[in-house]
Amino acid sequence: MSFDLVFFGGTGDLTWRKLMPALFQAWRHGKLPAGGRILAVARDERNHNSYREWLKERLAAAEPAKRPTDDEFAQFAAMVHYLRMDLSQPTDYAALRDWLACRCADTVVMYLATSPHLFPVICEQLGKVGLNHPGVRVVLEKPLGHDLASAQAINRAVSAVFTERQALRIDHYLGKPSVQNLMALRFGNVLFEPLWRRESIANIQITLAESLGVGTRGDFYDRTGALRDMVQNHALQLLTMVAMEPPSSAHADAIRDEKLKVLRSLKPFDESSVTRDVIRGQYRAGAIEGQAVPGYLDEAKVPADSCTETFVALRCEIQNWRWAGVPFYLRTGKRLAHRHAEIVVNFRPTPHSIFPGAQSPNKLVIKLQPDDGLELHLLAAKGSVHTLGSGQEVLSPVSLDLDFDKAFPTERVGAYERMLLDALAGRLNLFVRSDEQEQAWRWVEPILHSWSKDSSGLRTYAAGSWGPAAASALIGRDGYAWAEEY
């Protein structure tokens, strides 16, 4: 299969930090189809060779295991090309069309690694020069819009040029191997599905924690905030995969239909429930791994009076037969104690204990990053002679730990590597459909509206902590605790 992969925003952070390294790894693993060209598009005055040198410098900064040798880069760079474009100029799109037409690849993928406000004009101009034929796909990077209205405007502009099957809305969390194993855990094994319901599960926690601050992205982040940046997309997509009903098949639309049902079943927020069930915070100065770090208001390009949230914790419910009464807790934030992402499924206690002593309920931990695996926490008897007066031994916690990197030491691919390969192959399972995306915006909008009317609920937390104390109180109100607080 011959392909042309075009990166709009070819000199941007996303392209050189994530996309190009992922493509190089796909090439190194022998997964990238032969006969491909990679075209970077940007406004900078460069040519093919100068862009390749620029890219080589950046790939040389990758972690050693992923760093190309000179020979590897020379082979990979032969696929890489550069075209200067001003995205506001129609004539430049004609030049792109002519460059692509010189060999007529089987598949053309346009990856829009640009600001979302450029999506409509790019799609419109691609349509005007005929770059929307059935062999073309367009990949839309998040965030798709700033609210429901802007997301719908982008979707209308895209759908005026491309069909739904041609428009791939990316959420790279769905490409993580551990998320794929969430599907395998539920629908490829018989063990957990009978327990995956309100009768057996007490609560589910989804945590997406970062130890980094906003860095050089202060101006972007201050316009976005944690709710838009992480909850509306990543956290809600993970929630749908945990809570969805078994799809009828592995077909993309069968899976996305079930995810949409979950989003439509989420209990809507109103002003009183936002006040009660949503916590927002902003980090102040503190320490990460023993190093002092500044507060959010002291970061570059952040207004001194900013009320943008860098932390969100919320409690939500799914109003359907399977999950009625089971609280779901979502949490994300910057400058937290550790960088990790995980889903914790806390099971109910045994209905009648025959063993002495306090016993912690079973739980399943699905680790997304930086570790990638599963932990099943159980209770077991040591076989010790130390007993209580009853003559029965107190049970002790044990865990079954599956590290996917050790279980599958080869053929593992990163999230962006998987998503790029799926985009080239036209596999849609891991991409978000427009109705899913809009429903997610519809659910978070009452939170945004409530916050816009009242900024007094913004709490501060020290960098290096787990967020505002109110987040612990939120979950503690139901008699539970966050995983690290047990």
Tell me which residues are annotated as active site.
Answer: 234
The radius of gyration computed from the CA coordinates of the chain, to the nearest angstrom, equals 24
Residue 40: φ, ψ to 5°: -95, 130
In angstroms, the CA 137 to CA 5 distance is 10
Determine the 3-state secondary structure of 392 from DSSP.
coil
Structure token pair of residue 1:
């299969």
| Cβ proximity of 238 and 173 under 8 Å | yes
In angstroms, the CA 310 to CA 303 distance is 14
Annotate 208-256 with DSSP letters as a single string.
EE-S---TT-HHHHHHHHHIIIIIIIIIHHHHHHHHPPPPSSS-HHHHH
Side-chain half-sphere of 291: how many Cα atoms within 13 Å?
7
Instruction: Tell which residue, 413, 407, 425, 426, has the closest CA to residue 29.
Output: 413
Q: How many residues does the chain have?
A: 486
Checking phi first, is residue 325 left (phi over 0); if not, alpha (psi -120 to 50) or beta?
left
| Cβ proximity of 334 and 218 under 8 Å | no
3-state secondary structure 57-96: HHHCCCCHHHCCCHHHHHHHHCCEEEEECCCCCHHHHHHH
Single-letter code of the amino acid located at 199: E
Side-chain half-sphere of 254: how many Cα atoms within 13 Å?
6
Q: Which residues on adjacent β-strands are paired with residue 363? A: 346, 377
The alpha carbon of 284 is separated from its chain's Cα centroid by a whole number of angstroms, namely 25
Q: Name the E strands within 85-200.
A: 107-112, 136-140, 167-169
Determine the 3-state secondary structure of 190 from DSSP.
coil
Q: Which residues on adjacent β-strands are paired with residue 346? A: 203, 363
